[in-house]
């Protein structure tokens, strides 16, 4: 078996660009997955001549507002980092995390009120099941997004080198803004195709 005779002395230098690009590609594939769900919805409702036919719970409206707000704070965090104000960045990241959790809570609220109104998940109208599914899959993305934000937060406390801080913050920003826009899209989609 061949064996390593020597190591390259230049450590594989850290290069953020290809990794950020990879994050963008992940965003693309995620969009396509939701494209799959929403095209199911469109074909289904076109074939049956009906959508979910519900008035969406108010909680969805609040959660949307909360999510947009969290995006604003994440943006502020990125700006704080750029002017090297770590304390401020940390504060804004914390707010983002809290708003993210609040969003998740509101989504559960929305499901509860859907459930109470009789629009349950196990439904003979697949369009109604789809509301749960879309918001549920989106919530999984929120969990992943929180993980990225927390990773930016941790590295901010650990005071790692600036390039890496910016990289972590950027990754968190790309993903979080994406899931923000994604949720707005899904919400509007569900509003329009009732």
Partner 1 sequence: MSTISTHDTHHDDHGHHHETFLTKYVFSQDHKMIAKQFLITGIIMAVIAMILSILFRIQLAWPDQNFPLLEQLLGKWAEGGRIKPDFYLALVTIHGTIMVFFVLTAGLSGTFSNLLIPLQVGARDMASPFLNMLSYWFFFAACVIMMSSFFIQTGPASAGWTVYPPLSAVPKAIPGSGLGMTLWLISMILFVASSLMGGINYVSTILNMRTKGMDFWKMPLTIWAFFLTAVLGILSFPVLVAGVVLLIFDRSVGTSFYLSDMVFGTQIMPNEGGSPILWQHLFWFLGHPEVYIVIMPAMGLSSEIIAVNSRKPIFGYHAMVYSLIGITVLSLIVWGHHMFVTGMNPFLGGVFMITTLIIAVPSAVKTFNWLATLWKGNIRFTPGMLFAIGMVSFFISGGLTGIWLGNATLDINLHDTYFVVAHFHLVMGSAAIFGMLAGVYHWFPKMFGRLMDSKLAYLHFWVTFVCTYLVFFPLHFLGLDGVPRRYYAFTEFEFMHKWMTVNKLVTWSAIVAGLAQVAFLFNFFYSIFRGKRAPQNPWESNTLEWTTPVERIHGNWPGEIPTVHRWPYDYSKPGAESDFIPQTVPFSETMSSNLFHDFEGNAEAEQIQREWNAKNDPSKNNE
Instruction: State the Rg of the chain over Cα.
Output: 20
Angle at Cα 171 formed by Cα 25 and Cα 149, nearest 5°?
130
Cα distances (Å, whole numbers) of residue 148 to 58, 100, 106, 165: 28, 12, 21, 12
Site residues for partner 1, 94-123, by CB under 8 A, read 121-123
Asked if 34 touches partner 1 (CB under 8 A), the answer is: yes
What character string, x for contact with partner 1 (CB under 8 A) and - otherwise, covers 3-22? xxxxxxxxxx--x-xxx-xx
Site residues for partner 1, 137-156, by CB under 8 A, read 137
Q: Least separation, in Å, of the C-beta of 5 and partner 1?
A: 5
Judged by CB under 8 A, the stretch of 32-40, 79-87, 97-105, 148-156 that binds partner 1 is 32-40
- Tell me which residues touch partner 1 (CB under 8 A): 1-12, 15, 17-19, 21-22, 25-26, 28-30, 32-37, 40, 43-44, 47-48, 121-126, 129-130, 133, 137
């Amino acid at each position: 078996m061949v064996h390593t005779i020597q190591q390259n002395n230049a450590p594989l230098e850290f290069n953020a660009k290809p990794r950020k690009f990879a994050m963008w590609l992940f965003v693309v594939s995620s969009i396509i997955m939701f494209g799959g769900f929403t095209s199911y919805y469109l074909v289904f409702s076109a074939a049956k001549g009906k959508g979910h036919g519900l008035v969406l719970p108010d909680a969805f409206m609040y959660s949307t507002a909360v999510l947009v707000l969290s995006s604003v704070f994440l943006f502020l965090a990125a700006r704080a980092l750029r002017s090297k104000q770590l304390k401020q960045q940390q504060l804004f990241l914390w707010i983002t995390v809290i708003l993210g959790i609040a969003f998740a809570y509101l989504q559960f609220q929305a499901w509860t009120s859907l459930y109470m109104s009789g629009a349950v998940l196990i439904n003979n109208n697949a369009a109604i099941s789809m509301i749960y599914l879309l918001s549920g899959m989106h919530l999984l993305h929120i969990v992943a997004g929180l993980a990225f934000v927390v990773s930016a937060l941790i590295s901010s406390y650990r005071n790692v080198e600036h390039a890496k801080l910016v990289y972590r913050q950027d990754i968190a920003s790309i993903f979080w803004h994406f899931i923000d826009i994604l949720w707005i899209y899904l919400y509007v989609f569900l509003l329009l195709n009732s």
